[in-house]
Amino acid sequence: MAAERFGMSAGGAVGAMTPFLCSIIAVLIANMPVSVLGGAVPPPLLALMPVYFWCLVRPDLMPPALAFTIGVLEDLFSGGPPGIWAAAFIASYALIDRQRDVFAGLSGIGAILGFAVAMLVASATAYTIVSISFGQMPPPSPLIAEIAVSVLFYIPAAIVLGWIHRRIVGPLRRDF
């Protein structure tokens, strides 16, 4: 098997692919053409949640190129202008990467506020790019609503991602 040839077991390959697979699933779920609440609230930015989580917990499994790729997928599936979310995810990733010690030390409500800051950076980046691209400032209220919904959805998402980390990625970890 190719993974074993490069010094990685099949289990290690599964563990290494898990953050990317979580992100793809999040992109697909967030962009399904189904609205549970009839469009009353915007869908959460689910794709940023695995980027934030894995960047803190296992940065070796969530490099910047992967965050960029997830942003591109979000752009493609959301139907917006290309590059908006890719740039936003990279901006958020840069913040998380530079302040990893601060963010990783947060727990409880602090961890949720940490995600809120990352979400705010991603949203502000997207808003700025859209404003420059179209030459006018769109109303910020839909973006503020998306931030609020995303932060609320991060709570159960973090529980699920933590479970995945403990059950799948953690036990398959191999130190070289």
> 157-172, pLDDT tens digit by residue?
999 999 999 888 776 5
Residue appearing with tokens 């940023």? 48
Residue appearing with tokens 């898990």? 18
User: What pLDDT sits at residue 176?
Assistant: 40
Average pLDDT score over residue span 48-54: 95
pTM: 0.85
User: What pLDDT sits at residue 148?
Assistant: 96
pLDDT at 68 over 80: yes
pLDDT at 63 over 80: yes
Q: Tell me 58's DSSP state.
A: -
| Among candidate residues 172, 149, 145, 165, the one with its CA nearest the CA of residue 62 | 165
Q: In sequence order, what E strands does 4-88 have?
A: none
| Among candidate residues 44, 47, 52, the one with its CA nearest the CA of residue 23 | 47
Decide if 26 contacts 50 (C-beta within 8 A). yes
Per cent of the chain over pLDDT 90 is 60
- Position 127: which residue type? Y
Average pLDDT score over residue span 98-124: 90
| Among candidate residues 39, 79, 50, 62, the one with its CA nearest the CA of residue 153 | 50
Residues 164, 25: Cα–Cα separation, whole Å: 13
Average pLDDT score over residue span 77-94: 93
User: What pLDDT sits at residue 125?
Assistant: 97
